[in-house]
Copies of this chain bind each other. A is one copy, B any other.
Amino acid sequence: MLAKIKSARDALRKSEQKVADVILADPDGSVQSSIQSIATKASVSEPTVIRFCRALDCVGFQQFKLRLAQDLASRGTFFYRDVTTDDTSKELATKLIDGAIASMVQMRNQLNYESLEHAINFFENCDRIEFYGSGGSGIVAEDAQLKFFRLGKPAIAYADPHIQHASAALLDNKSLIVAISHSGRSKDILETVKIAKQSRAKVITVTATKSPLAEIGDVNFSVDVDEDSDIFSPVKSRLAQMIVLDILAVGIAVKGGEEMLQQLARARRAIDFKFV
């Protein structure tokens, strides 16, 4: 949630940003405050605070506070510390794994189940599904393809923006696309999604809250991860994205009932001869 606020901050309105700043400055204090006291601290009106909460996908202030509280609580269990140059390899490994766990816990608390239901519906009503992502997110897209093509509908992943554009132009209203992006601000993927929408395809996004990409999709799964600490391409958000897509795939499979589960088992056995 804190990560969510951070990543959404710039997309917020001016006075809502003041609210964000007040909360980021003292999250622990904020969970115990009323709307009034937060509004005063931020020198804005109370409705602004509510609008701020709504902007973060909460139905109201109470829900916001609750989520924030849960976020803070789970943060404590796997305390995340930055890697430093004089860590032993053990410290380093522990830190990185704890960071990954912390982001999973946050994921668990913030995942939007309505989006999940919607997304499952989209899948059931589509003829084919395409995954778009570039760079690190391209990896996630490929991973998703591997999962989804076993579900009985054509599934494909494209990492190359040119091919994405070309493919998006050929979609129709029975197509479903999943656009994956860490920042949600990559020009390429935004362009791809615009083309896909013109083709009247349904669009699921897996990206940061309030990012341009999240705004133009039909359904968004928010993946907000505190990234300052990632030296490389963002691993933690990679992991989070992958688990979101796994949840979606399993959700679809489970809804498909016994029949689909058996189909999956068949797909699995098909590669058995490859092993010693």
- Whether A257 lies near B136 (C-beta < 8 A) is no
Q: Give the docked Cα–Cα distance between A135 and B120 (Å).
A: 25
A residues 31-53 in Cβ contact with B at 8 Å? 31-32
If over half of A's interface residues share one DSSP class (helix, strand or loop), that class is named, otherwise mixed; here it is: helix
For residue A143, which residue of chain B has the nearest CB? B139
Q: Mark A107-136, 1 if CB is under 8 A from B, else 0.
A: 111010100110010000000000000011
- Report the minimum CB–CB distance from A243 to chain B (whole Å): 6
A15 within 8 A of B: no
Q: Give the docked Cα–Cα distance between A63 and B32 (Å).
A: 7
Contacts of A146 in B (CB 8 A): 135-136, 139, 232-233
A242 within 8 A of B: yes
- Whether B143 lies near A238 (C-beta < 8 A) is yes
**Size bracket, chain A contacts:** 35 or more
Copies of this chain, count:
2
A8 within 8 A of B: no
Q: Which of A89, A212, A238 has the most CB of B within 10 A?
A: A89
Contacts of A212 in B (CB 8 A): 276
Contacts of A163 in B (CB 8 A): none
Q: Give the docked Cα–Cα distance between A94 and B250 (Å).
A: 12
A167 within 8 A of B: no
A269 within 8 A of B: no
- Report the minimum CB–CB distance from A249 to chain B (whole Å): 6
A100 within 8 A of B: yes
| Apart from A74-B76, A92-B254: 20 A-B pairs, beta carbons within 8 A | A66-B66, A73-B73, A74-B74, A85-B254, A87-B254, A93-B116, A97-B105, A97-B107, A97-B243, A100-B243, A101-B108, A104-B104, A135-B146, A136-B143, A139-B142, A142-B142, A147-B232, A147-B233, A188-B274, A232-B249
